[in-house]
Amino acid sequence: MASIVTPPPYVITPSDKRGVVVVVTAASLSFVWACFLIRLYLRWRPRQWVIEDYFVAAATVLDTGICALIFHTVGTGLGQSVYELDDRFGDLYRIGKDDFAIQILYIITLLLSKVGVLSLYLRLSPKRGHVLVTKITILISAIWALVAIILIAAPCAPSYYWPYGLKQCTNVFPRWVAIVALDILTELIIFGMSIYLVANLHMKTLNKVMVVAAFSLRFPAIAASAARVAYIGNAVNSKDPPLYAAYYMVCTQAHLSYAIMSATLTSFGQFLRPFVPDDGAPKPRSGLTPVPDKSPPGSHNTPDSYRLRALNANAGPKFNSSRRESGDSSSNLKLRPEGELSKRDFSVQCGNAAQHDVLLGEDDSASRVSDDSQKMIITKRMEITVEMERASLMSRARNGIDSRGM
């Protein structure tokens, strides 16, 4: 009995490119989800979900929806010669509707990938000037997306272009040239911001190069965008648009997938080591790390308290052993008169400046640090007890008098 061979769903021929579209779309979708799962793993270890992760997650979900639409459009006839369609007018109309949805989602997904990278800038920006430039770039990207959607939908929807061609829709290619030009401009601004970010920072040149190289990973997305608009021009001017549309649909998915993956690659700690520690979270801008208040009720810790790091025991003050052995240490130590008991309370508390004072003994004046109610101060109470053995001193004095009398 001869084995039955299942024929492939699509055969790539000069008049049928649907197989190319399906293979590239499936491969790019798998790469996108692989990078997203890696991102989830990196965030799961420190259990920290930062703001750019939301944008990348939304872009990944939208890209999955775009891939589903591409598969549906290929089943309708995208990538196949117009002369081989069963219902030419009906198939072209359905292809146009799916293509219109793909183009709109394409712009929104690109915007989310850009904002994801720019949100990383907001976390890393050490100065107000950097933050201001980043916010302006986010605004420019949002304006670009709005203008792109208007240029796609307002003059002529793709659902009408596919059945009627250029007789119904004009200036299709020039509009896409304007959209892609603005897209490339925003990508160049994003790359230039990485140079501006590290230009005035005091760090090694190698670290600066690593940061700039991390954000330069989006350069291939610019090449994919330029190739896409070139294939759009071929499809618009062709007499067989469904066949030539397969090429720009491949570039569409390649552009989207790489833009999303580069947003994940940019956030790897290996590239951002000068800013981000191993857990993926940005380094704090101060020497103290805020931690949640887990102190029991009734304790002296406040909600604004900070965990203090342990100090090295060797870092404390050291006394000269030679001077201590020679008895010269008395010149450095000032003791109170004998018999006087000096008590000081020694403790360390953390809290607001409005709540604690710095007390330095019973007869020392209290000082208050009240620069800002949100700043942390350290209150210190030290208790020292000095006791003198009067009996031994008096016996020594009597022995001296007796020796003089003799």
Amino acid in the structure at residue 353: A
- Predicted pLDDT at 101: 92
pLDDT (mean) for 88-93 = 84
- Predicted pLDDT at 122: 84
Q: How confident is the model at residue 343 (pLDDT cuts 50, 70, 90)?
A: very low
- Looking at the predicted structure, is the pLDDT value of residue 22 above 50? yes
Other C-beta atoms within 10 Å of 333: how many?
A: 7
Q: Which two tokens stand for residue 109?
A: 């997904």
Q: What does the alpha-carbon distance between residue 380 and residue 364 come to, in Å, rounded to a whole number? A: 13
The 8 Å CB, 24+ separation contacts for 119-124 are: 119/50, 119/51, 119/52, 119/55, 120/52, 120/266, 120/267, 121/193, 121/197, 122/51, 123/50, 123/51, 123/52, 123/282, 124/197, 124/272, 124/275, 124/276, 124/282
pLDDT digits (tens, 9 = 90+) for 226-244: 999 999 988 888 888 889 9
- Predicted pLDDT at 11: 83
Comparing 116-125, 262-271, 275-284, 392-401, the range with the smallest average pLDDT is 275-284
User: Can you give the three-state secondary structure of 34-81, one letter per residue?
Assistant: HHHHHHHHHHHCCCCCCHHHHHHHHHHHHHHHHHHHHHHHHHHCCCEC
Q: What does the alpha-carbon distance between residue 123 and residue 126 come to, in Å, rounded to a whole number? A: 8
Residue 17 near residue 246, CB atoms below 8 Å: yes
pLDDT (mean) for 283-301 = 43
- Predicted pLDDT at 381: 63
What residues have CB less than 8 Å from 283, skipping those under 6 apart?
A: 275, 276, 277
- Looking at the predicted structure, is the pLDDT value of residue 395 above 90? no
pTM: 0.65
pLDDT (mean) for 189-197 = 86
- Looking at the predicted structure, is the pLDDT value of residue 358 above 70? no
pLDDT (mean) for 329-341 = 48
- Predicted pLDDT at 384: 62
Q: What does the alpha-carbon distance between residue 344 and residue 361 come to, in Å, rounded to a whole number? A: 5
pLDDT (mean) for 49-67 = 91
- Predicted pLDDT at 367: 43
Q: How confident is the model at residue 27 (pLDDT cuts 50, 70, 90)?
A: very high
Q: What domains are there in the chain, each with its CATH number?
A: 18-266 (1.20.1070), 288-307+336-406 (no CATH)
